[in-house]
Amino acid sequence: MNRAVSRAEPRVSLGGPWGKVTGAFGAIARTTSGPVYLVLLVVFLICFAVVTIDGGEFLSVDNIREMLVRSVALGIVAAGQTLVILGASLDLSVAYVISLTSLIGAETMDGQNGQIVTGIALVLLIGLAIGLVNGLVITKLRVNPFIATLGVALIIRGYLEANYAGPAGSSAPDFRKLGFENIGPIPLSVILLFAVVAAVWFLLRWSRFGNRLYAVGGDEQVAKLSGVRTHRVLITAHVLCALAAAITGLFLASRLGAGSPLVGQEASYDLQSIAAVVLGGTYLLGGRGGVLGTLAGVLILAMLDNTFDQLEVNSFAKDVARGLIIIAAVAAYSVRWRRHRRREAAAAEGVDEPPQGGAPVLQEGRAT
């Protein structure tokens, strides 16, 4: 480690240029999702190369469609999870919410097209209620989000295990189209995913709620001192997150044709969604990141899955590889961020260090 160099370099270069990187590249590189898209590109190139060398097809329309459709469920949950994580919270109940809502949706519809609206409404209402409970327990009872949502998850699990032995209900025929129909070349479900992501993006960027959510996650005290009603913001985030999980439950009910008490936890959407959010460059402690990064995170995971499937890698090795990649990516963001922070500090102090103020006094005080 060469200290002298590492110290001299930022001093020279950082006063101006760091703050003024211009152009599209600079703009992208400075956003938190910038590096995520870089990772996405690298993963894409590697997957493409590996699959092609192996003799498979990576860029065929079918394969791309396959990858996207397989991203839908995780993508929607993760978009919701992004909101709570940005607010420095967490939702571990999403997997069970998904199972529960898939069952309730399918049972309410009971194979009749006339029940679709009722089913959807009921599911969304349940999502809203669960989100409200999560949010209230966290803010008003001051229970750590990890524990609060884990507790809610366990309660739902107990309910599911007591009442369901296996798949139940039946999605309405028209409702199943959501899972299988295309509009032009694009699957309906993929449009749903992009709609949800767009809605979350829009909220984060263009609503007061979004602006304040970043503040609450970044520094709750600062937010409070600026007049933000932090509890309200956090509860809203939890409600939206649970709604996203409920939508995922509906989508899966449409896809499976029935509700399943295991569909959420089998794919472990709770931890997977958190992994996708973090892989997408959102800071786990809140205040930094965005839903576009999460989308990239989900796509990265989908490409990896697809590649592993095509290469017929066994599923244990798949998990190991996925784990390694998540850790590596987040470590890379973290190192990059810390270096960036240190440079900032050095830049700020570099100006501050007063050779004008300090040194002469030293001579006067001692050596004259």
Partner 1 sequence: MSAESETSERAPSERPAGNDVPLLEMKGISKEFYGVRVLDRVDVDCRAGEVHAIVGENGAGKSTLMKILAGVYTPTEGEVRIEGEPVSFHHPLESQHAGVSIIYQEFTLLPDRSVAENIFLGREPKRGLLVDRSGMEARSAEILEQLAPDDPISPRAQVGLLPVDRQQTVEIAKALSLDSRIVVMDEPTAALAAHEVERLFERVARLKERGIGVLYISHRLKEVFEIAERVTVLKDGERVDTVPTSEVTSPDLVRMMVGRELDQYFPPRAEPGSRGPVKLRLRGAGNYLVSNVDLDVHGGEIVGFAGLQGSGRTELARAIFGADPFDEGTLELDGSERQIRSPREAVAAGIGFVTEDRKAEGLALMQSVRDNVSLAWRGLRRSLRKKHELEIGELTKAVELRARGLGQEVRFLSGGNQQKVVLAKWLATEPQLVIFDEPTRGIDVGAKAGIHDLIRGLASEGVAVVMISSELPEVIGMSDRIIVMRHGSIAGELEAGPTEAEIMFLATGETDIDVDDSATPAAAGGEQPQEDGS
Q: Where do contacts with partner 1 occur on this chain (CB under 8 A)?
A: 3-4, 6-7, 15, 18-19, 30, 32, 206-212, 214-215, 218-219, 221-229, 232-233, 236, 287-288, 344-359, 361-362, 364-368
Given a contact cutoff of 8 angstroms between Cβ atoms, the answer to whether 294 and 241 are in contact is no
Cα separation values, 358 from 19, 97, 352, 368, Å: 28, 62, 11, 15
CA–CA separation, 287 vs 85, rounded Å?
8
Instruction: Write the DSSP symbol of residue 168.
Output: B
CA–CA separation, 279 vs 259, rounded Å?
30
Least Å distance between CB 125 and partner 1?
19
Of 57 and 353, CB closest to partner 1? 353
| Angle in degrees, CA 242, 197, 99, rounded to 5 | 35
Of 231 and 318, CB closest to partner 1? 231
Least Å distance between CB 350 and partner 1?
7
Length of the chain, in residues: 368
Of 41 and 335, CB closest to partner 1? 335
Least Å distance between CB 101 and partner 1?
23
Least Å distance between CB 140 and partner 1?
17
Checking 150-153 for CB contacts under 8 A at 24+ apart, the result is: 150/92, 150/93, 152/93, 152/96, 153/92, 153/93, 153/95, 153/96, 153/270
Least Å distance between CB 207 and partner 1?
6
Of 70 and 231, CB closest to partner 1? 231
Least Å distance between CB 186 and partner 1?
28
Of 15 and 151, CB closest to partner 1? 15
Strands 182-183 and 186-187: antiparallel
Least Å distance between CB 239 and partner 1?
10
Of 158 and 360, CB closest to partner 1? 360
Of 89 and 265, CB closest to partner 1? 89
Q: Where are the alpha helices (DSSP H) in the chain?
A: 3-14, 23-30, 34-53, 61-86, 94-109, 116-139, 145-163, 173-180, 188-206, 208-218, 220-225, 230-256, 263-266, 269-279, 291-311, 315-352, 358-362
